[in-house]
Amino acid sequence: MAALEPKAYSAPDKPLRFAVIGAGMAGILCGIKLREAGFDHFTIYEKADRVGGTWRENTYPGIACDVPAHLYSYSFAPNPEWSHRFAPGDEIQAYFETITRDYGLGRYIRFGDAVTRLRYAGGKWNLETAKGHRDTVDIVLAATGVLHHPRMPEIEGLDTFAGPCFHSARWDHGVSLEGRRVGIVGTGSSAVQIVSAIVKRVRRLVLFQRTAQWILPQENPPYSEAEKEEFRRNPRRIYELREQLAQGFVEHFSNVVVDADSPQLRLLEAMCLANLENNVNDPELREKLRPRYRAGCKRLVVSPDFYQAIQSPNAELVTEAIARVEPRGVRTKDGRLHELDVLVLATGFHVDRFLRPIEVIGRGEKLLDDVWNPRPYAYLSVAIPDFPNLFLLNGPNGPVGNFSLIDVAELQLAYILQLVELIRAGVCREITATHEATARFEKDRAEAAKKTVWVTGCQSWYLDDRGLPMAWPWTFDRFRKVMARPTFEDYALAL
Ligand code: NAP
């Protein structure tokens, strides 16, 4: 620890300047916590014209968060007004807009301009935007999200479709679905929510399923006015509920999916199986909907009513592979043309982008694109060797999909701010994760990943090019513990 004593170098004579990239959940959090820590020199760069990230971009019918609302909120900003146990997307978007206003963050955000380049030189990060704006900062906080870049399917003839065709994360609200024939490609969380939300509005719904999903039936009851009033009068009640929800989520999900042999996972599988057996009447349809891999291997889909929706008389589940898209609809490999008016692509995201396509040039002119080829990595998900003073929130290999990403970001930011404190205190000017610590983390991670349910025989967005899960493969408790205090020896501190 002796190396951490302020010695030759004294505290910076100018206040530290930060660039935060992205004004989604994690970027807003950065703004709040930077100010709280006494840092006032920062800009939050946001390429869009509103805050909200995922919740700004995903506006498809039926969108809701499958983490309970009182858990999917900042720990320091409880919201007594959540309407349901699982909040709809527009409420979550409104929550982030309100928080941004309440915490006075508007004046720190530069909207409508994308960061295009970051270059480390002379101990500073030089930033450029698409509109030619330039900034020089001491520290970069990348809060650019994970499920952010829509993945378009490679299907022949997709651009020949005569009607509207859009990705679930680019919903075209100008297109009416009433009385129309709508096709949906994909059966992930997004598709399942869309199916349940629109089946009653459309004339015909065709769901193109490549792989069946396990569906965990979770009811979504509204909070009564009396409950909300109790939350308003007694915010302590929200904290107690949050604690309960967190404990339940960790015990029954987060800690379970990282241990393929755990009894709780068997319980989860039994619940999904019972849902299928009890709620799908037609044996042929039931077999089509029966996954051939273990529950939790893909990110578990949660829905109280998907099976009901897909059994509607106007709905059809198509399991024959798609051959191509034609102007009038989708032709499957059996030669059948499924005529459609609207085609929705609920085909997921490129999950390996993180702060790219920004061109990031680190120490020694190292390009992040090269360093992250063939796959992204970061020490403990927050720091990359050769990229000093650049920290990631919800970066590669974090507990994405396992827990409330808000809690994840809060823990990560508290950890990062402990590192930043070393710079403010004059212990060092530059902090970089060491190659040794990063290699050790990567090795341990790959080993632990073998025990998770994600490697038990399915394809999913969790898996990287080697088939190794890119998500945190340990318990959430371990994540919390590791994030509590940095192991400073795993960083190179330079003057
Ligand atoms: P996803 O889980 O990656 O699902 C994509 C779907 O598209 C899969 O069913 C996939 O089939 C299918 N697909 C992809 N390319 C295809 C092709 N060429 N032909 C046919 N089918 C194709 O994406 P997502 O549903 O958007 O969800 C992503 C993640 O976002 C979720 O896992 C969750 O973490 C998060 N999310 C959460 C919520 C929520 O809170 N409720 C809602 C939405 C999203 P295969 O399975 O065969 O690959």
Residue pair 103/127 in contact (Cβ under 8 Å)? The answer is no
The most distant pair of C-alpha atoms in the chain lies apart, rounded to whole Å, by 76
By alpha-carbon position, which residue is closest to atom 8 of ligand 1? 186
> Could you give the CA distance from residue 58 to residue 382 in angstroms, rounded to a whole number?
26
Atom of ligand 1 nearest to the CA of 191: 25
pLDDT per 10-residue tile (average), the chain, 495 residues: 49 90 98 98 98 98 96 97 98 98 98 98 97 98 96 98 98 98 98 98 98 96 98 96 94 92 94 98 98 96 97 98 98 98 98 96 98 97 98 93 91 98 96 98 96 96 94 95 98 94
pTM of the model: 0.96
pLDDT for res 49:
97
Atom of ligand 1 nearest to the CA of 189: 25
By alpha-carbon position, which residue is closest to atom 35 of ligand 1? 189
pLDDT for res 81:
98
pLDDT for res 10:
66
Q: Give the distance (Å) from ligand 1 centre to CA of residue 451.
A: 23
What domains lie within the chain, and their CATH numbers?
2-149+350-494 (3.50.50.60), 158-214+258-345 (3.50.50.60)
Cα–Cα distance list, 426 to 16, 19, 61, 385, 420 (Å): 11, 20, 51, 21, 10
Question: Residues lining ligand 1, judged by CB closer than 6 Å?
Answer: 64-66, 147, 153-155, 168, 185-191, 193, 210-211, 299, 322, 346-348, 401, 459, 461
Angle between helices 25-36 and 89-102 (to 10 degrees): 20
pLDDT in tens, 302-319: 999 999 999 999 999 999
Residue whose C-alpha is closest to residue 207's, from 91, 66, 309: 309
